[in-house]
Amino acid sequence: MQASAETLAFLHDVRVFEAFADPDLVALAERLRERELRRRQILFREGDRGDEMFIVRRGTILISKAVTGKVEQVLVRVEPFDFFGEMSLFDGSPRSATAQAETDVELLVLGRDSLQAMTETAPRAAAAFFYAMVQVFMERLRRSTQQVAEATRWGLEATGLDVEAR
Amino acid sequence: MQRPAPAKFELLVRRDDTEDFELRQVASVIGYLNSRPRRVDQESYEISELRSRLAAAPGFILKNKTTDRFLLLSAQERFLWDQMDGATALQAIATAYVLKYGEFDFEIIPSLLRKLQRAQLLTFEPTSRLRAALARNRGRVIVKAIELVLTGLERIRISSHNVQSFFQALYRYGGFLLFTPIAAIACAVLAVLGAAAAFVLFHDVHDMLEGFGGHALRGILTVKLLFFASVALHQFVHGLACIHYRRRVREFGFTFLHGFVPTFYIDVTDIFMASRRARVITAVTGALVHLALGAVAFVVAAQAPTGSFTQAFAAASGIIQWQALVIALYPFCFIEMDGYHVLVDVLGVPTLKPDAMTYMKGLLTGAGRMRQGREELLWIGYVALSALSVAAFIAFNVWIIVSATH
């Protein structure tokens, strides 16, 4: 992909690329692919194979996990400058949730090959990328813990369980 | 602290074979209204009607046959219980309740659900309020210490669940005699003799307790310890009464009530499935142990030489036994003893004390307002009589100790 000034400015504001030097950012931009989704289009389903992560440039992506039958729980809405799908990028595991466009969406796609190339040609940028990624993982882990507590509260409130009194 | 907003989930519901979907926010309150409470299997519970000549509507006793826990239900609660079939949503149950009773007091529903969960009739294992309060304040050293002591004491529990055959044998080999007219007459005679002896003795309490040789307080405490043995006898008679009415004695043992009150206890809750007469007799006969022992003690004291140790010891024992009789049978003392259970059974108002306390608390804090109904009069009467009685009880004991030590 030809790196436009607009794309470079956008990437500079994406958290995992914030610490990149300009030449590294240009090299990265050239390895990214663009992809567009129409509203309601499914990008991938839970259980699909995958080895790419996605950065939202425009629009909103819904990440949801199957609960029962046709019902899924919305885990998160991914907004512009945020990214998703990184778990499969690292370990190639099946997708743990479904990603679907809530609106018309523009994405930038980073494949495993591109990441591998970046690690070899720009190790300083790769280190900054991984460091930022660990921080994001920790934040998401905290959010998951909070979601578990919230789910427990929902259950207690919804069932009227009185766990304090005898 | 501000109460947090109800928790909510966002759900994505797919349409048939398309990418189309609908997003729905589901707050916990919606989940609650749509929940379908299910009572335990029919084989796991037993329900019995409790009729009263005074109460307008009948009450019901609900027993969890698995855990042997009992609940007293009003007619409205019984109606709600019948709706909890696992298929009817709480919202539909509330609608049915309004149509049936024309009342919008929906607090009855969560309140009943909590009661049922506690009794494991909808399942759940609760914790003690005292322990929960202590746990909340665990940061304070004193609270932590109290919690540790209570935990230690609560672990002291000696009990047996296999006592039915023992009590059956005890009943067969003589216990049945307690439930004959002769025993009732003997008890009445003893009461008259004891009262006469006490009347004579109480002309001079000081002379009577002089036999403790200037250590009246220590003597009375010794008598109190010996009295503890009669509490076990009291529980035994409850058990025999339960057998007399062909119900089951579930457990007998010793424990620290609330973690600090040492006591013997017996589980005769199965008697709730018998008639009211059976329940009243089971409650009263246990307390009559104190009437009989106290009467004998007073008679012995009256016959003993004035100022002797025997007289002092017997008289003190008599006082304590009859105090125990009053505490056990007198319903107006804020304690839910035998007499209280008889009273609420006869009145048909199983929640007399908690209702009365809530009502009075509301009046005193300004949160509630005065109403003139039968129930309100009952609540005010209960609290007023109980407060007066407790004050009189304390005054009487202070008088006894002061008389004995001066």
pLDDT at A165 over 60: no
pLDDT at A34 over 70: yes
What part of B 96-155 touches A (C-beta under 8 Å)? 110, 113-114, 117-118, 124, 126-129, 132
pLDDT at A102 over 90: yes
pLDDT at B209 over 70: no
pLDDT band at A132 (very low <50, low <70, confident <90, very high): very high
CA distances from A8 to A78, A83, B82, B85, B153 (A): 20, 16, 68, 62, 70
Residue B150 CB partners (closer than 8 Å, separation 6+): B130, B131, B134, B259, B260
Check residue B125 and give its pLDDT: 35
State the best of B10, B12, B136 to mutate against chain A, taking most chain A CBs within 10 Å.
B12
Do B109 and B90 form a contact (C-beta atoms < 8 A)? yes
* Domain tally, chain B: 4
Over residues B244-262, the pLDDT tens digits come to: 998 888 788 887 665 566 7
Check residue A38 and give its pLDDT: 95
Check residue B124 and give its pLDDT: 36
User: Average pLDDT in the A83-106 region?
Assistant: 91
Q: Which residues of A have a CB under 8 Å from any CB of B?
A: 40-42, 62, 64, 67, 70-74, 100, 150-151, 153-166
Which residues on chain A are in Cβ contact (under 8 Å) with B7?
150-151, 153-154, 157
Check residue A37 and give its pLDDT: 95
- Does residue B178 share a domain with residue B142? no
- What is the rounded distance in angstroms from the CA atom of residue B136 to the CA atom of residue B306? 56
- Does residue B211 share a domain with residue B180? yes
- What is the rounded distance in angstroms from the CA atom of residue A146 to the CA atom of residue B258? 36
Which of B310, B329, B348 is the endpoint of a domain?
Answer: B329
- Does residue B176 share a domain with residue B295? yes
- Does residue B367 share a domain with residue B240? no
Q: Which residue of A has its CA nearest to B128?
A: A166
pLDDT band at B127 (very low <50, low <70, confident <90, very high): very low
pLDDT at B129 over 90: no
* ipTM surpasses 0.85: no
Angle at B197 between CA B194 and CA B200, to 5 degrees: 150
Check residue B26 and give its pLDDT: 78
Type of residue at B55 = A
Q: Do A165 and B132 touch (CB under 8 A)?
A: yes
- Does residue B178 share a domain with residue B38? no
Asked if B362 has any chain A CB less than 8 Å from its own CB, the reply is no
Task: Give the whole-number percent of chain B exceeding pLDDT 70.
Answer: 82
Do B343 and B331 form a contact (C-beta atoms < 8 A)? yes
- Does residue B283 share a domain with residue B165? yes
User: Average pLDDT in the B11-18 region?
Assistant: 78
Check residue B132 and give its pLDDT: 58
DSSP helix/strand/coil, B85: strand
Check residue A82 and give its pLDDT: 94
- Does residue B231 share a domain with residue B373? no
Which element (helix H / strand E) includes B200? helix B181-201
pLDDT at A166 over 70: no
Which of B329, B364, B392 is the endpoint of a domain?
Answer: B329
Over residues B153-191, the pLDDT tens digits come to: 655 666 676 788 899 999 999 999 999 999 999 999 999
Which class does domain A5-159 fall in? mainly beta
Q: How far does the CA of residue B128 sit from the closest CA of chain A (Å)?
A: 5
DSSP helix/strand/coil, B3: coil
Nearest one of A83, A97, A16, A15 to A50, comparing CA atoms? A97
- Does residue B238 share a domain with residue B322? yes
pLDDT at A145 over 80: yes
Check residue A106 and give its pLDDT: 96
Rg value, chain A, Cα: 18
The region, left, alpha or beta by phi > 0 then psi within -120 to 50, assigned to residue B120 is left
State which residues form the domain around B2: 1-125
pLDDT at A6 over 60: yes
Q: Which residue of B has its CA nearest to A76?
A: B10
Q: Which two structure tokens, joined as six digits, stand for B290? A: 């104190």
Q: Which of B7, B12, B126 sits opposite A154 (nearest CB)?
A: B7
- Does residue B7 share a domain with residue B75? yes
pTM here? Answer: 0.49
- Does residue B67 share a domain with residue B39? yes
- Does residue B9 share a domain with residue B68? yes
Check residue A29 and give its pLDDT: 92
Q: Which of A71, A162, A166 sits opposite B128 (nearest CB)?
A: A166
Check residue A55 and give its pLDDT: 96
Over residues A48-94, the pLDDT tens digits come to: 999 999 999 999 999 999 988 888 999 999 999 999 999 888 888 89
Nearest one of A112, A62, A127 to B13, comparing CA atoms? A62
Q: How far does the CA of residue B213 sit from the closest CA of chain A (Å)?
A: 48
Percentage helix, strand, coil for chain B under 3-state DSSP, each rounded to 5: 60, 15, 25
Over residues B282-341, the pLDDT tens digits come to: 988 988 999 999 999 999 988 888 777 788 888 888 888 898 898 888 888 887 788 888
Over residues B81-105, the pLDDT tens digits come to: 988 887 777 877 887 787 677 676 7
- Does residue B78 share a domain with residue B54? yes
Q: How far does the CA of residue B257 sit from the closest CA of chain A (Å)?
A: 15
pLDDT at A150 over 60: yes
Specify the range with the lowest mean pLDDT, choosing from A79-93, B207-221, B250-264, B269-283.
Answer: B207-221
